[in-house]
Amino acid sequence: MLANANIISCNFSSFTSSTLNDPKLRTSLQSQNLKPRISFLKTTLKFSAFLKPHNHTSSILEFQRKGLVQICHGNLTNQNSEDPAVEKGDSLEGGSGNGGEGWNWSTSIFLLVLWGALMYYVFNLAPNQTPSRDMYFLQKLLNLKGDDGFRMNEVLVSLWYIMGLWPLVYSMLLLPTGRSSKSKIPVWPFLILSCFGGAYVLLPYFVLWKPPPPPVEETEIRRWPLNFLESKLTAGISLAAGLGIIVYAGLANWDDWKEFAQYFRESKFIHLTSLDFTLLSAFAPFWVYNDMTARKWFDKGSWLLPLSAVPFLGPALYLVLRPSLTTMPISLNPTASKSE
């Protein structure tokens, strides 16, 4: 019954044993490479003759019938595989194929628990011994107070300015390769809010993120904000600024570092900002790996992955050296990556 259904699906109205004797049909079967299969069957029948008698003619005819069905089925499969709907895929699959497929519900649950614990720590357990001094420091760092003769701690100033660069670095890592095609949650609101909340705001997006990234059109790369975030000039300025800030903090005297350690133990503002810097540095290597695999650059750029664990400078260096999407047509063509 199954054989007849398959034969009919191949536009054959009937198929009998007498039809198999047609010379034209035999020639057609031989052109489909059935002759070697029949020879192999004859050899097998000779070796198994002492076990059970066989009707060689009926066996060969049955084998030819099955072979024709397989050919028809194979032709239908090949035709279906050429259907554009089958070949439909995502343009940037690398992040999901390597870094993204491991992102399952257990990962999201872990991050959700981590975020909940952080929120509890922020509102209930973080030190808060100097709220008035924290407000004064914040006004000084925002240049809302004039020069009153107070010298700000150099390490604190460095931390404040480098925290202003982290949202730019994460924007360059998450757009476009950190976007989610399986979720309707956009990434850009989280990136904007991260300018004020840092990792405490980005963590909810990490929980909701579902790879792979959606397709990216070439015209989209030429428009804002991708043309700015993909620019090597933007990446170079970020790296140079971050390097200058870290060197400035490193050259601070020992008294500044001791004073900063005291601020960390007493001030809620400085304590949570330092924790924010640590969280952003800890998550950066994963997003570097995700972006690297999405750009099909892991084989050449894998040596940068250990360097991405260096706070700020590692991810910033990767952004300078990574290939641009405009030089990678495979990332722009959804069907090209599938055909490979």
Place 256 in a pLDDT band, splitting at 50, 70 and 90.
very high
Residue in the structure block whose two tokens are 């079967």: 29
> Residue 304 — pLDDT band, cuts 50, 70, 90?
very high
> Is the model's pLDDT at 6 over the cut of 50?
no
Q: How many helices (H) and strands (E) does the chain have?
A: 20, 0
Region 268-277 average pLDDT: 97
Confidence grade of residue 68 (pLDDT, cut at 50, 70, 90): very low
Kindly report, residue by residue over 14-49, the tens digit of the pLDDT: 444 444 455 554 544 444 444 444 444 344 333 333
Task: For the chain, report the end-to-end CA distance as a whole number of angstroms.
Answer: 38
Which has more pLDDT, 95 or 169? 169
Among candidates 318, 273, 316, which has minimal Cα distance to 295? Answer: 318
Judge contact between 315 and 294, C-beta under 8 A.
no
Residue 337's pLDDT band, with cuts at 50, 70 and 90, is: very low
Least confident of 131-140, 183-192, 229-238: 183-192
CA angle 12–13–14, rounded 5-degree value: 95
Cα separation, 212 vs 208, whole angstroms? 13
Give the pLDDT band (50/70/90) at residue 104.
confident
Instruction: Give the pLDDT confidence score for residue 288 in this predicted structure.
Output: 96
3-state secondary structure of 93: coil
pLDDT level of residue 51 (50, 70, 90 thresholds)? very low
Does residue 312 register a pLDDT over 90? Answer: yes
Please indicate whether residue 53 or residue 129 has the higher confidence score (pLDDT).
129
- pTM for the structure as a whole: 0.67
Residue 340's pLDDT is what? 41
Burial group, residue 102, by CB count within 10 angstroms (0-12, 13-18, 19+): exposed
What does the pLDDT read at residue 325? 81
Predicted pLDDT at 327: 61
- In this predicted model, what pLDDT tens digit does every residue of 152-180 receive, in sequence order? 999 999 999 999 999 999 999 999 999 98
d(CA 30, CA 195): 71
Provide the mean pLDDT of the chain: 75
- Asked if the model's pLDDT at residue 330 lies above 50, the reply is no
pLDDT band at 269 (very low <50, low <70, confident <90, very high): very high
Nearest to 206 by CA among 317, 113, 272: 113
Digit-coded pLDDT (tens) for 125-156: 999 999 999 999 999 999 998 888 899 999 99
Residue 339 has pLDDT above 70, yes or no: no
